[in-house]
Every structure is written in C-alpha cells, then in structure tokens.
Amino acid sequence: MKALKTVLKDLYGAGILFFYYAKWFIVLGLPVLYFALDYKDNKILDILWIWCIILIIKDFIYKFVLKKSYCKSENCSSSKRSN
C-alpha cells in the first residue's frame, strides 16, 4: 500500500510539472497541427487541449482576479528595516 501511495505521488508530481510547462505549447501548437499541417483529428488531443485551456483560465483567475497576498504590510517588495 505504501509503494502504491509513493507511485501515485510521483505521477501526480509529474503531471503537475508536465501541465505547468507544456500547456502553452499544447494550446498554441495543436491548432497549428490541425490547420497548417493537416494533422488527423485526434479526440485524446482535443480533450488534452481543452484541459490545458481550463488550466490557463484557472491560472489567470488566481493570478489577476483573486490576487491573494500573504504580506501584511501595504507594500511587500519595499519593506523597511530598522537598523
């Protein structure tokens, strides 16, 4: 059971890294494959493309709409030190 848990953790981490770095290539590259290079229709790639668009929208919402900050001062980047 412990080995299965370790394998699932590794797969989860690999999936996060894959989608973090590859989502823009998939979103921009798949239409190029379909329309410019006459690639055959592939349902699995279509689902992967939709999933990557959902992840990009989620990232946009978390970064620009919610703007959660854990800094208690007004300006986190220029905190003053008293020496």
Question: In angstroms, what is the C-alpha Rg of the chain?
Answer: 20
| Structural domain total, the chain | 1
- Whether residue 83 lies inside any domain: the answer is no
- Whether residue 19 lies inside any domain: the answer is yes
- Whether residue 72 lies inside any domain: the answer is no
- Whether residue 71 lies inside any domain: the answer is no
For the stretch 14-70, pLDDT in tens is: 888 888 888 999 999 999 999 999 999 899 999 989 989 998 898 888 888 877 655
Comparing CA positions, the residue from 23, 30, 28 lying closest to residue 58 is 23
Q: Which residues form the domain of 16?
A: 2-66
Asked if residue 57 lies in contact with residue 24, where contact means CB atoms within 8 angstroms, the answer is: no
Give the angle 20-59-18 at the CA atoms, nearest 5°: 10
